[in-house]
Every structure is written in C-alpha cells, then in structure tokens.
Amino acid sequence: KDRFRTLRFGMSDCWVPPHLWGGFAEYLYLPFNSVVHRLPPDLPAELATLAIPLGNGFQWAVLDGGAGPGKTVLVFGPGQQGLGCVFAAKAAGAIQVVLVGHTRDRSRLDLALQLGADIVIDAEQDDLKDRIRSLTGGRGVDVVVDTTGDPTGQVAADSVALAAKGAHLNLNGLAQKVGIGDVKKLYLTVRAPRGHSYKAVQMALDYLYAQQSRLAALCSHSFGLAEVDAAIRATAGRGAAGAIHVTVNPWA
C-alpha cells in the first residue's frame, strides 16, 4: 500500500502494476493526469533528454537558490546535474559561476569552461577555501549547490565555510558537520534539493532550444537498449572514456 503513495516515473518498482513506469524501454505508461511538455519539432531527441538535469539546475540554482545578476554561485560536482546548475546560473545572469570537481573530472571541467563556467577548481589539486576567498575578496559566495550527495558531510561543511552572509545553500548530501549555530550566525537559507517544477523544466527546454548548437557537445554517447548496462557504467565514468551525457535509444 505504501508503495502506491509515492509512484513516480523512473523511480517506481517494475513489479508495481501497470509495470511500465519508464526508463530504458520502448514503451512508457502515461496515466490520464500526466504532466507533459511540448517539444519543438526541430529539437534533437538526445538534446531534449537534458531537460531534466538542466531543469534541476534551474530549480536548484535559480528558483530555489536565487542565482541571478550580481550573484556568485558555487557548484559542487561536474556531472549532468552540476553542469545544469552552471548553465542555469549563467542564463539567469550570475556574475560568476565556479564549478568544483576532482582530477578524474578534468574533461568535464574543461568542457564547462567552454560552455559557460567562469572558474573551475580541482579540489584535489587546489586549496578550495583559499581559491574562493581570493575570488570573492574574502566575502564568500551567494549561492551554493551540492550535486554530489556527499555522504561524509565535508561538502556541507565547506559550503557553510565559503558562504557569504545571507547565502542560499542547496545541500544534497549529509550535513552532520554543520551546526545550527553556523547557519544562524550567517543568516543562511538551507534547502535539500528535491526534483523540479514544471516551470523549471520549461525554462530548461527554452534554453536548450535557443542554445542547441552550442550544447550539442554535451551529448557524448548513445547506446542501444541491449547496452543499458554499459550506458549506466558510462555515466559513472567507467568503460566509456569522456562520457558526459549518455542516452539510451530503444529503437537503435
């Protein structure tokens, strides 16, 4: 009974009727009250699949985080969600967007610089706190989005340490190293990002349509339905070198 309360496309057990809840299949069950977006006929399907990670970017960085003109934004994680936050923040007019990753993420960090990020930081090679303090004149950043789901709590602790007074933090991992006193002292707004709204996805689709020639470089790999395992491994950085945005084409 409890399983039926939280039915969600792509997140529901395949054993729950009517079974076709989406993801890596030729067909998808759509109930009568499904919310859909109309895609421009000349928007490539592979690029259109970026609407969800980019929609999350608009939701987490802009609609929830307040990224906009004059704001400095710090994004942890150069995966699809992190890149989505970078693009959304720049589209909203953020004055400076900083993306943080690791040495293994070099190709994604370099691509982020080409596509809109102002600064990228390899946290394994650079002192993150020193770099941010230098970039902001010691003030800190206005918006932080963690897309890593860090289980150690270090990203959350760093987010608070690097935040300006009144900053908005969207923390996707554990925050056991952050005390309420730290939040109160800087008058921070702390959220846990959760999905996206209709508005955010529409903003993403409009952006993708306007920028499709520039963003095509994100669509790095496509797999057939029989190669789903390889596709999933590629998104985790295993097997396919340089994978960024990976799609599965059931009809290939």
**62-82 confidence digits (pLDDT tens):** 999 999 999 999 999 998 899
Region 218-231: what's the mean pLDDT?
A: 91
Q: Which residues are CB-neighbours of 1 under 8 A, at least 6 positions away?
A: none
Beta-strand ranges (E) seen in the chain are: 72-76, 96-101, 119-122, 141-146, 163-170, 189-191, 219-224, 245-249
User: Model confidence over 95-124: pLDDT tens digits?
Assistant: 999 999 999 899 899 999 998 999 999 999
pLDDT of residue 1: 47
Residue 4 has pLDDT above 80, yes or no: no
pLDDT band for position 6 (50/70/90)?
low
User: Model confidence over 26-62: pLDDT tens digits?
Assistant: 888 888 888 889 998 899 999 999 999 999 999 999 9
Mean pLDDT of the chain: 91
- Cβ-count burial 162-184 (b if 16+ within 10 Å, e if not): bbbeebbbbbbbebeebeeebbe
Instruction: Report d(CA 99, CA 132) in Å as an integer.
Output: 11
Instruction: Report d(CA 77, CA 56) in Å as an integer.
Output: 14
